[in-house]
Amino acid sequence: MRPSRGAPYLLSAPALAFFAFMVLLPLALTALLSFQRFSYESGVQPGFTSGAYATVLGDPWYWGIFARTGWVALLATAICVLVGVPEAYILSRMRAPWRSVFLLVILAPLLVSVVVRAFGWSLVLGPAGFVNQALEAVGIGAVRMLYTPVAVVVALVHVMLPFMVIPVWTSLQKLDPMVENAALSLGASRLTVLRRVVLPQVLPGVLSGGLIVFALSASAFAIPGLLGGRRLKMVATLIYDQYLQELNWPLGAAIALALLVVNLVILLGTQTLVESTWRKRMGA
């Protein structure tokens, strides 16, 4: 790498200026907005107050929405771990053409619009959908799934599973198959090899995947908006309502900022912590 002079600053100046104006400035303006006075009659007022935060923290209705968002995201994350980790392991043990074919099959839905995927799930889970047709055929009868947390969790798992498979897959690629073979030849059972050899090595991948899935699930908007309906509020749809229906921008800004802080803490803080403890424990 060449030493620094003017060149790198000159090269990065356009992107830096653009991002400062389009990311940092709007976020700062939003932080400011969350402290501004507001009345439903005349909108945003001059003068500052922490009223929006007091409203949110003092009202159990908001706490209910935060709690629901938390457990829905946690449930989606748990299912992604339980499905994504074994699936990544199975993929890594497949042979040549199938391995990349099925990796693409699992990951390709990432590139399809989330609105299309949510709509697809509303067809599958709807009152006359395929799951309900199957349930009626076996005599259980139709079950309401659309506009309940079930539909939201199922669709979230569908959208987030690739984010779980990718980091686990990446750490499995680094794993030396000879170590597994050595453990087997020394008399370890298949289960012991999985538990004592494979799992400890992919655990950092599982953790970073889980954190990404949780953070993305907690801030997901289109899935709860389309599959949760109006009654099943989550944090993202709550912010949307405050901005575009109630027009109470300071309150929306306060909740959005809280969501941003939670996301940054999870994704930056915890991840650095996890990585540094892991490096120490692995002795690298």
* Contact between 119 and another protein per CB under 8 A: yes
* Cβ–Cβ under 8 Å, residues 251 and 52: yes
Q: Which stretch binds another protein (CB under 8 A): 56-64, 137-145, 255-263, 274-282?
A: 255-263
Q: Which stretch binds another protein (CB under 8 A): 53-61, 69-77, 194-202, 236-244?
A: 236-244
Q: Could you say which residues in the range 32-71 bind another protein, by CB under 8 A?
A: 33
Q: Which stretch binds another protein (CB under 8 A): 47-55, 58-66, 69-77, 88-96?
A: 88-96
* Cβ–Cβ under 8 Å, residues 94 and 106: no
Beta bridge partners of 48: 36
Beta bridge partners of 38: 44
* Cβ–Cβ under 8 Å, residues 68 and 234: yes
* Cβ–Cβ under 8 Å, residues 65 and 239: no
Residue 120 buriedness (CB in 10 A; 0-12 / 13-18 / 19+) = middle
**Which residue in 35, 53, 62, 243 binds another protein (CB under 8 A)?**
243
CA distance 278 to 284: 9
Q: Could you say which residues in the range 124-183 bind another protein, by CB under 8 A?
A: 124, 126, 128, 130, 155, 158, 161-163, 166-167, 169-170, 177, 180
Which residues are within 8 A (CB) of 12 and not within 5 positions of it... i.e. 6 or more apart?
A: none
Shortest Cβ 103–another protein spacing (Å): 6
* Cβ–Cβ under 8 Å, residues 151 and 125: yes
**Which residue in 54, 57, 90, 273 binds another protein (CB under 8 A)?**
90
* Contact between 96 and another protein per CB under 8 A: no
* Contact between 273 and another protein per CB under 8 A: no
Shortest Cβ 261–another protein spacing (Å): 10
**Which residue in 81, 109, 135, 270 binds another protein (CB under 8 A)?**
109
* Contact between 102 and another protein per CB under 8 A: yes
